[in-house]
Amino acid sequence: MTVTRFAPSPTGYIHIGNLRTALFNWMIARKTGGQFILRIDDTDPERSKEEYVDAIKEDLEWLGLTWDRVERQSKRLDLYDEAADRLRNIGRFYEAWETPVELDLKRKKQLNMGMPPVYDRSALALSDDEKSALKAARGAGVWRFKLDHARINWTDGILGDLSIDAASVSDPVLIRQDGQVLYTLASVVDDTDMGVTHVVRGSDHVTNTATQIQIIEALGKVPPTFAHHSLLTGPQGEALSKRLGTLALRDLRESGVEPMALLSLMARLGSSDPVELRRTHDELVEGFDISHFGAAPTKFDSDDLIPLSARVIQSLSASDMAEHLQSVPEDIREAYWMTIRGNTPIRADADKWWPVFAGEATPEIAEEDESFVKEAFALLPEPPYSIETWKAWTTAVKGATGRKGKGLFMPLRLAVTGQPRGPEMADVMALLQKKPTL
């Protein structure tokens, strides 16, 4: 059975970048009738916050990305200790005492000499006496995994065949000086223990994956299938972190973005498949194929969400929208909604057009149109109006003033609705409850 997981650290809100990770993993599980695990990576007690755990769940629920179970790394620390012991026993784990300043100095020296800044493994050359002395002087060290200096190969679900020379990577620190187990170890223990079959994550994790494959094999387990999706950039290719890096899902939600609009965009953006509005989660999952995604950075433009959201809204009925139509009298709610729904990209704005129909719009009249509009309004009878009213009125105004085309219609639209754009004027007039005044 397919098992995937979304593994956020509860140190902040889900943002547009990690939504992709969540969504891809969710779709793989749903497409194959597998399991989707929400794994909370909370081994860092200082940075992990309960409020973010709640917020992450809330955001996923808003999108309908349901999980089959929740796991928390903070409850699994014993398993990580066991794995660490196993690595020690097979000679793949060693303690190192360099301070961050010392490591930095080493790196600078290597770079000056034109060498890659890879940890030089001096800790491996320490004698027992030297180790005791360092321990006495500096306390516990960090624990590093001893990479096997061979090439690490895997076939990536998106990037294809990858090969990384382990000698070009520093032996990863898996346990901090204060004893805290780091993500790299905790994650492989969980992935293998929970039977995770597919790991999809951002391409910033590629090097991690190489080292994790060796750790998994050292622990006698089989690595899952990996796929690394490209990172998002802004519309001009600029780093997302600059402008949108903090674009949290809750901000999008508050700005009125429809969940199916967001999902429809993110489920196909960066792939060879077209972005189209999908009405249901099943439709999202149906055409999804991870191998259709490319390695190039993916441009994200939040403006693309507006037309998609608008299309979601256009498909809703007045009763779907009842909550947002309270200020519209019930007997004309249906007619009102049908008239304006094509001009309302945000649910919460559903009643924004109502003042126009209630005769409370503030007319917009350019100085040069003042006498024209006055003349036109004199030709408009009192309500009730119908779908014929606009045609009859504008024909009369045209006859009286000689104006036609835009010069005729635009000043009248502005005078009646106060806005340069909106629903068909024939529909607007048919619904007007009062004769507009100037």
Residue 104, phi-psi category: left (phi > 0), alpha (psi -120 to 50), beta (remainder): alpha
Residue 9 sits in the site that holds ligand GLU (CB under 6 A)? yes
Minimum CB distance to ligand GLU, residue 160 (Å):
20
To the nearest whole angstrom, how small is the minimum distance from the Cβ of residue 204 to ligand GLU? Answer: 8
Does 213 participate in binding ligand GLU (rule CB under 6 A)? Answer: no
Q: Are 171 and 215 in contact (CB under 8 A)?
A: no
The three-class DSSP label of residue 72 is strand
Q: Is the peptide bond before 100 cis (omega within 30 degrees of 0)?
A: no
Contact region with ligand GLU (CB under 6 A), list: 6-14, 164-172, 323-331, 377-385 = 6-14
How many residues touch ligand GLU (CB under 6 A)?
7
Q: Which is nearer to ligand GLU, 8 or 157 (CB)?
A: 8
CB under 8 Å to 373, separation ≥6 — which residues?
363, 365, 411, 412, 415, 438
**Minimum CB distance to ligand GLU, residue 258 (Å):** 26
| 251 burial via Cβ count (<10 Å: 0-12, 13-18, 19+) | middle
Residue nearest ligand GLU, CB atom distance: 41
The interface region with ligand GLU, picked from 2-10, 52-60, 227-235, 272-280 by CB under 6 A, is 2-10
Report the residue from 30, 76, 201, 278 that binds ligand GLU according to the rule CB under 6 A.
201
198 lies in the site for ligand GLU, by CB under 6 A: no
Site residues for ligand GLU, window 218-277 (CB under 6 A)? none
In terms of CB distance, is 214 or 264 closer to ligand GLU?
214
What is the helix (H) or strand (E) element at residue 38, kind and residue range?
A: strand 35-40
The answer to the question of residue 7 lying near ligand GLU (CB under 6 A) is yes
First to last CA, the chain: 69
Task: Pick the piece of the chain touching ligand GLU (CB under 6 A) from 3-11, 228-236, 413-421, 427-435.
Answer: 3-11
CA dist 386 and 303 (Å) reads 37
| Residues 118, 194: Cα–Cα separation, whole Å | 32
Sign (positive or negative) of CA dihedral 139, 143, 148, 150 = negative
Q: Determine if 8 is a binding residue for ligand GLU (CB under 6 A).
A: yes
* Residue 41 engages ligand GLU in binding (rule: CB under 6 A): yes
Q: Is 187 in the site for ligand GLU (CB under 6 A)?
A: yes
- How is residue 386 written in tokens? 């119908």
| Pairing state between β 198-202 and 225-229 | parallel
Min dist. Cβ of residue 182 to ligand GLU (A): 11
Residues that bind ligand GLU (CB under 6 A): 7-9, 41, 183, 187, 201
